[in-house]
Structure formats: C-alpha cells, structure tokens
Amino acid sequence: MAATRVPKSRSKRDWIAGAHPDEVSIFSQPWFVDIAYRKEHRVAKAFNKAGKLICAFPYCQTNVLGIFPRITSLDNWRRLSSFVFLDKHISDEEKRGAIADIIKQLPRSIGYCQFILDDDSGIIRDAFIKAGFECIKIPKYVRPPSKQNYERDAYAQARDKVLKTISRDGRTRYRTALEQAKIEDISASDFCKFYQSNLTSNGAQSYAPLSIAEALIENGVRRQKAFALAVKDKDGVEAAAAFLFDSGAIYAWMATRKYHPQSTKFRGDDKHKKYFIDILVIEAMIFAELHGLIYDAEIVPVETDGAPRNPHKVFVNEKILHLSKRESRFRFERVGWWYHGARRFFYTARDFCKATG
C-alpha cells in the first residue's frame, strides 16, 4: 500500500474521479472543500498494490506561528470529515491499510490534529486510537425517514407524517407561527447579511469568514445540495437557517434570529417570534421525510475543561422534536507536546503588547 498527498495546485480538483458525487458526503465533495479551505486544502491518498487509488481524505492544514502544523475539519464552515472509499467492494483489511497509510501522512511530533467523523464500523476508530489519537464520543441527534413513498399531495403527506412524530407543543408552535408569518427562500447574500447583522448587534464575531459561507450556500443551491430559508412576519425577516444535504442526510448547518435585547418579552401577537427557529427546523425535517433522507442535527457539542457545552440545541430541541440519539460520531484529537504551550505563550505576549501599547 502506498500513500501520497495532492499538491497545492488548484488543478487537482478531480481527486475523487471515479466515485459518483452522490456517494460522497457533502462535507467531502471536492467543490465544497475547495471553497472552504482554498489554499489550505490538502488531500491524502492511499493506493492498492496495483497503483489504483482506493481512498482519499480531504483536510485543512495551516501553520500556527508559522511553525506548528494544524490540521482540522472544524474550520471555515466544514464540520464532519470522512474517508472517501472509491471502491465499495474492498475488504476490511484493505480499508485498514488505506486508513493507516493516510493517518501516517498527518503531522505528528509538534502538530495539532482534530477531526469529527461518523464511524459505524469501528475500523476508523480503531485506526485513529492505534495512531495515538484521543477518541471522544459525541452523541448525534437524527430523525430517520419513514419508508413511505409520497406521490399525490406529497408535501402535505410528508408534513403530516413529521408533525405526528413531534410533540403536541411542537405542532402547536408550527401552526401558530405560520398563522403570523411565512417561510420563504432567502439568497446566500441576504442570508449572510442577516447573519452578520445579528452578530454585530450582539457584539459577537463570526469564527470563520462569512464570505466562504456565502460561496458555499450559492454553490450548494446551484448544485441542489443546499437551501436557505427565512421566516418573515409583519416586522420583516425574524430568523433564517441554511441546510446542506447529500444522498443520505440533510444537515442542520447555520441558523440565526433577529437580535432582540435579552430583556425583550414576547407576548400576545408577538409570542410566535420565539418559535421561528423551530419551524425552520421542522420545515427541513419535512424536506428530509419527503426525499427519504435522515435529518441530522449536525452541530456537535464541544467540551471545555471537561464540561460539555451544547451549541447545537437550536437544531435539536429535544422537548419538541423527539429526535433519536445515536453515539456513532467521534472526535479524534492528537496534540503535539509543544503546541498548546507555544500557542498560549504567543497569545499572552500578544495581549500584553496590546495592553501596553
């Protein structure tokens, strides 16, 4: 088994030539990683003994302080990683060899690597643990579609099916909100402007460039791999969300609501404003049911000092959505012995220089 890495040349976009795009996770499709990572885009490859490409693994590589390699799937709006197997008929032994070859290409001594992957087989998990990665189990929340085939009044039937599986409170929220507002498509540009305006009002900043998110949404919509929805009432757009999908699942990806001061109490005719993110999620669940896709509340919890945080709660809302909890998503992390200390020293020094002028 031999392995190599795609050069930085942007002419190397056909690294999964031979695999049908619909069989590749949305987060690992060439157009997606090329937009998300740009010059930092790398692809590790593994070949069989005959020299045939059998597996590819796209990732992002940057250097911290210009020295320490940092590899992750969590930057620039891309969340989940995946090994792309170009031959679905290879044996488990060949898979293990390919994965091991690819992992060997990742910086080890003073680097930082972090990936989140789905792993139902255990083969990937075992390979990462053997290579010295810490494995952290992360629950994911999904709604599998029914096996019903929809024909006449397909949307109405799929909607009724979804509403029957959520709580009574959820059904009430959905119907009440739609009496006062409407759901409509929103362009990538308008979505990102709305997203930015609410960050600015809240004194927050985007963790990755919104220009990249806009390009991903535009390209996703054009390729029929994404859509963005907004909820508009008498006061204009109050909430918006963007969803990505592939042949297997639709992923809750980005969401934002109009900024209102925390002291704001929605009562009477404005009570419905509290439910707008919920109804966008329900609309995505209807889309998933209609097209036979899994609804995946893709945003994952992050551990801080051992305590789990739950930034994905707007997409999960277990009290009303009744999603199934599964534990086949894992975060793999390997940190070089110099990395954290050097990074902490750099930022401390930078903050000191700013404070002292």
Between 334 and 158, name the one with better pLDDT.
Answer: 158
Please report the pLDDT score of residue 171 as a whole number.
93
Do the Cβ atoms of 276 and 238 come closer than 8 Å? yes
Burial letters 24-41, b for 16+ CB under 10 A, else e = bbbbbbbbbbbbbbeebb
pLDDT in tens, 226-241: 999 999 998 899 999 9
Please report the pLDDT score of residue 8 as a whole number.
40
CB atoms within 10 A of CB 304: 8
What is the enclosing helix (H) or strand (E) of 100? helix 92-104
Please report the pLDDT score of residue 109 as a whole number.
64
Is the pLDDT reported for residue 11 higher than 60? no
pLDDT in tens, 172-215: 989 988 998 999 999 999 999 999 998 887 777 777 889 999 99
**In which band, very low, low, confident or very high, does the pLDDT at 66 lie, cut at 50, 70 and 90?**
low
What is the enclosing helix (H) or strand (E) of 226? strand 226-233
Please report the pLDDT score of residue 126 as a whole number.
93
The dihedral over CA atoms of 209, 210, 213, 219, expressed in degrees to the nearest 10, equals -110
pLDDT in tens, 105-149: 887 766 788 898 887 678 999 999 999 999 988 888 899 999 888
Please report the pLDDT score of residue 196 as a whole number.
92
CB atoms within 10 A of CB 119: 18
Is the pLDDT reported for residue 161 higher than 80? yes
- Distance from C-alpha of 124 to C-alpha of 136, rounded to nearest angstrom: 13
User: What's the rounded mean pLDDT across residues 283-297?
Assistant: 95
Q: What is the mean pLDDT of the chain?
A: 82
Is the pLDDT reported for residue 74 higher than 90? no
Which residues, 6 or more positions from 76, have their beta carbon under 8 angstroms from its beta carbon? Answer: 36, 37, 60, 208, 209, 212
- Distance from C-alpha of 283 to C-alpha of 300, rounded to nearest angstrom: 21
Find, among 333, 340, 329, 237, the residue nearest to 280 by Cα: 237
**In which band, very low, low, confident or very high, does the pLDDT at 342 lie, cut at 50, 70 and 90?**
low
- Distance from C-alpha of 108 to C-alpha of 69, rounded to nearest angstrom: 9
What DSSP line would sit under 298-333, residue for residue?
----EEETTEEE-TTHHHH-HHHH-PEEEEEEEEEE
Is the pLDDT reported for residue 304 higher than 60? no
Is the pLDDT reported for residue 249 higher than 50? yes
